[in-house]
Structure 1
Amino acid sequence: MSRCVLLGVLAASLGFAVAPGRAQEQEIIRIGLILPMTGPEAATGEQIDNAVRLYLEQNGDTIDGRKIEIVLRDDRAVPDETRQAAKELIADDKVALLAGFGTSPAAAIAAPLATEAAIPQVVMGAGTSLITDRSPFIVRSGGTLAQSAATLAHWAAGHELKKVAILIADYAPGNDALAVFGRHFRAAGGEIAGEWKAPLSEPDFAPLLEQIKEAAADALFVFVPTRQSRLFMEQFRASGLKIQVIGTGELTDDDALANMGEDMLGVITAHFYSAAHPSQENRNFVAAYRAAYGDRPGYMAVAGYDGMHLICQALRKTRGRTDGAALLAAMKGMAWESPRGPVEIDPQTREVIQNIYLRKVAVERGENRNIEFATVAHVKDPDRDEGGHR
């Protein structure tokens, strides 16, 4: 007789009931967190990782008797390393979910592995709309670039910015921003004065800005990585251009905005999160984040915080069960009050439905801040139809 059978017989003979699933309930729930912790996208990884751990510190790391363990892997935003990390997390660490993903290529390359393993993949960072089409197990907790760019396009066209020039960094997110903003701005009756692209590596914006002067535009839509925002605005001010600079939240991310100087003042952006958002939930979040990490959170932090909330609430709904289909069903349609405002997971697309805020950079309490001046409520990904398809 095997030892397991013998123990079972002994327990029964002594009158003990062996509760179904008790062994599973005591197992650790491992969550694989794949982020760029080093390399050019390290700020993204740091923000998300900080917020995930802050959420667990505030809300506890045990659900129905099962402890949550975060298994962090650094992919350096290199897709091949993302794939390898996902494989190891699934096969070796037996994770119940994958989460993180600072870039769209990272999220896309892990998607087939999440599908094969039938486990949820919570995309906290990547903002390309098509990502959720890559796997039926992907749920997004951050937002899409299209939500912000399209909202900004319609606002601009309705506020006397009838002719807009576009300048982007020449890489996938920049080209997405160009396409989405241009399409929606034209649809709203606006005119694109021209399109300019700067190399992603070691850009010099000055020659392009000289060309843009000739376009006689009312405004300049800009999409560059946050790490290049300060350089761009310094060269913009030096060029003598007097038109309005507009962009999505990447241009004025709170993670870096405080250190960007006065050249950023007056820039108008559209996005889902500002550390200056005037709600009690956000004030509490910002205070806790600053106390823990010595800085204010950016939008990647709130995406990580909400992603962890989504995961934990789904686990509570399933009473700690980690069946992938059950967790996915628990996430669909979930709604809560985030530090950014009300959010909801669209049950058809698995995208976040959220407010998009128009903001203007101004000095408040001695720091550059994104001050909200208008809200567009309940924004879905604008490039999907009613059936949830592109």
Structure 2
Amino acid sequence: MRAGALALAGVCGLGGSAFADTIKVGIIGPFSGPFALQGKNFQAGAEAWLAQNGKTVAGHDIELVYRDLPTANPQQARALAQELIVRDKVQYLGGVYFTPDAMAITPLLKQGNVPLVIFNAATSAIMTSSPLAVRTSFTLSQTTTPLGKAAVERGVKKFVSVVTDYGPGVDAEAAFKKAITAAGGEVVESIRMPLNTTEFSPIMQRVRDAGAEGVFAFLPSGPPTLGFVKAFSDTGLKKAGVKLFAPGDLTQESDLPALGEAADGLITSFHYAVSHDSEINKRFVAAADKAIGAPDLLSFPAVGAYDGMFVIAKMIAATGGKQDAEKAVEAVKGLAWESPRGPVKIDPETRHITQTIYLREVAKDAQGRWINKEIASVPDQKDSGLTK
């Protein structure tokens, strides 16, 4: 208890921290373990932004300080954030792949006088846990909502919902049920899986037994999504004509070569595809590919980090390099810019990001590579899952 009290006192003592020539940004993410690719994408996106814009903002050098959090671990997330604030004296925090980790960090923000810019964690409620959190990623309710109409337009009305049982999965399940019901369909069974689920055959049997025409699924991108999509194909559901719909977490670009025909034709909705056709995205992909070291590794967390660094740079400029978390966050409310994903804006009331959500289909491009081909767009989508 004594050590914990001293550490907390150290956090509180940072409230008056002043002008610094070098401004440190602490980035927490999975840089090792089963989700290491997502951490590499955080790093690639952040360093791509620095490569394109320079490492100096308003006369202050930016230094990135990385901390590894291999899997969801709220206690460790809090400890790492506290270490970054107290020992490393960072003025900004960024990253965070899993929602439980973000929820563990937000209570430190006010005491430490530090904003948190979320590069990935996608539960709507994170924004209600601290006024000093800002999102440059997406929410599951935001990316899921367009799927209801898309499914019914393709003649699929009877669904089984399968989600990982934590914040984003619950949000995705609720958003899909609402969207499919509004479009004239129904969810006949809802299945929630533990976060560490790796065996999906029993779940596929439940889908078969339910007589569903379609499956809606959400799992966090990484080994689970790769395994789920393969199981859907290998157990014969795809061949039997059952359709799989999902937010884009299930078809991140780094998995598509391994998924191949198993993912062919899969319909997803998401905020970003590496193949998005714009000049700013082409420049971003080139810089991020160079940072990550191989083109087949780039995926959506990179754009959250890239835009996160843009937002942090605006905060630094607005505060003149001084440590003032409230002023920093206030400065980016309503901020709008052209991202590699398209036009985006920080909602001034919720601090969520407003953006275009794209309907995509897994297909081959002209060079024979598997991509998430954008086939429709839904502009100006706000988070729809925030409860006040």
Judge same fold: TM > 0.5, yes or no: yes
Bucket of the pairwise TM-score, normalised by the shorter protein: 0.7 to 0.9
Residue identity over aligned pairs, in percent, reads: 38
Gaps of 5+ in 2: 1-17
Distance of 2:80 and 2:385 partners within structure 1: 31
Matched with 1:369 is 371
Tell me the alpha carbon deviations over residues 138-188 of structure 1, each in whole angstroms, 9 at most, x when there is no partner. 000101011011221233234432222222344443333223212332233
353 and 252 in structure 1: CA distance in 2 versus 1, 3 angstrom threshold:
same
Matched with 2:31 is 37
What letter is aligned with 2:135?
A: R
Does structure 2 retain, via aligned residues, the 8 Å contact 1:149–1:181? yes
**1:314 aligns to 2:311 (yes or no):** no
Tell which deviates more after alignment, 159-168 or 141-150: 159-168
SS in 1 for 2:25: strand
Distance of 2:125 and 2:336 partners within structure 1: 22
SS in 1 for 2:362: strand
SS in 1 for 2:146: helix
Matched with 1:335 is 336
SS in 2 for 1:259: helix
Runs of at least 4 residues off by over 6 Å: none
Q: How does 1:371-386 map to 2 (within 5 A)?
A: 371-384=373-386
Matched with 1:303 is 304
**1:181 aligns to 2:176 (yes or no):** yes
**1:82 aligns to 2:77 (yes or no):** yes
Q: For the aligned residues, what is the CA RMSD?
A: 2.0
Distance of 2:195 and 2:330 partners within structure 1: 40
Matched with 2:294 is 294
**1:115 aligns to 2:110 (yes or no):** yes
Task: Provide the TM-score with structure 2 as the length reference.
Answer: 0.88
Tell me the alpha carbon deviations over residues 354-374 of structure 1, each in whole angstroms, 9 at most, x when there is no partner. 000000000112221100001
What letter is aligned with 1:283?
A: K
Tell me the alpha carbon deviations over residues 326-371 of structure 1, each in whole angstroms, 9 at most, x when there is no partner. 2111111111100000110001000000000000000112221100
**1:239 aligns to 2:247 (yes or no):** no
Does structure 1 retain, via aligned residues, the 8 Å contact 2:229–2:259? no
Tell me the alpha carbon deviations over residues 14-71 of structure 1, each in whole angstroms, 9 at most, x when there is no partner. xxxxxxxxxx766211111111222333222111122111211221111222111111
Matched with 2:58 is 64
What letter is aligned with 2:116?
A: Q
SS in 1 for 2:106: helix
**1:207 aligns to 2:208 (yes or no):** no
Does structure 2 retain, via aligned residues, the 8 Å contact 1:25–1:64? no
SS in 2 for 1:129: coil
Distance of 1:53 and 1:338 partners within structure 2: 16
192 and 278 in structure 1: CA distance in 2 versus 1, 3 angstrom threshold:
same
How far is 1:106 from its partner? 1.0
What letter is aligned with 1:247?
A: A
Distance of 1:378 and 1:310 partners within structure 2: 19
How far is 1:267 from its partner? 0.5
349 and 200 in structure 1: CA distance in 2 versus 1, 3 angstrom threshold:
closer
Match of 2:128 among 123, 126, 133: 133
Matched with 1:8 is none
Does structure 1 retain, via aligned residues, the 8 Å contact 2:253–2:299? yes
Matched with 2:47 is 53
Distance of 2:206 and 2:197 partners within structure 1: 19
SS in 2 for 1:109: helix
Task: Provide the TM-score with structure 1 as the length reference.
Answer: 0.87
Distance of 2:171 and 2:141 partners within structure 1: 8
Tell which deviates more after alignment, 202-211 or 74-83: 202-211
102 and 238 in structure 1: CA distance in 2 versus 1, 3 angstrom threshold:
closer
Distance of 2:201 and 2:235 partners within structure 1: 7
Does structure 1 retain, via aligned residues, the 8 Å contact 2:157–2:185? yes
How far is 1:215 from its partner? 2.9
Distance of 1:254 and 1:103 partners within structure 2: 19
Q: What is the count of residue pairs matched by the alignment?
A: 363
What letter is aligned with 1:262?
A: E
Matched with 1:252 is 251
Matched with 1:219 is 214
What letter is aligned with 2:146?
A: T
238 and 39 in structure 1: CA distance in 2 versus 1, 3 angstrom threshold:
closer
Does structure 1 retain, via aligned residues, the 8 Å contact 2:19–2:323? no
What letter is aligned with 2:142?
A: Q
322 and 201 in structure 1: CA distance in 2 versus 1, 3 angstrom threshold:
closer
What letter is aligned with 2:144?
A: A
Max Rg structure: 1
How far is 1:119 from its partner? 2.0
Does structure 2 retain, via aligned residues, the 8 Å contact 1:258–1:369? no
What letter is aligned with 2:160?
A: A
Does structure 1 retain, via aligned residues, the 8 Å contact 2:226–2:255? no
Distance of 1:239 and 1:28 partners within structure 2: 55
**1:326 aligns to 2:327 (yes or no):** yes
SS in 1 for 2:145: helix
Does structure 2 retain, via aligned residues, the 8 Å contact 1:26–1:65? no
Tell me the alpha carbon deviations over residues 80-109 of structure 1, each in whole angstroms, 9 at most, x when there is no partner. 111111112212222111111111111111
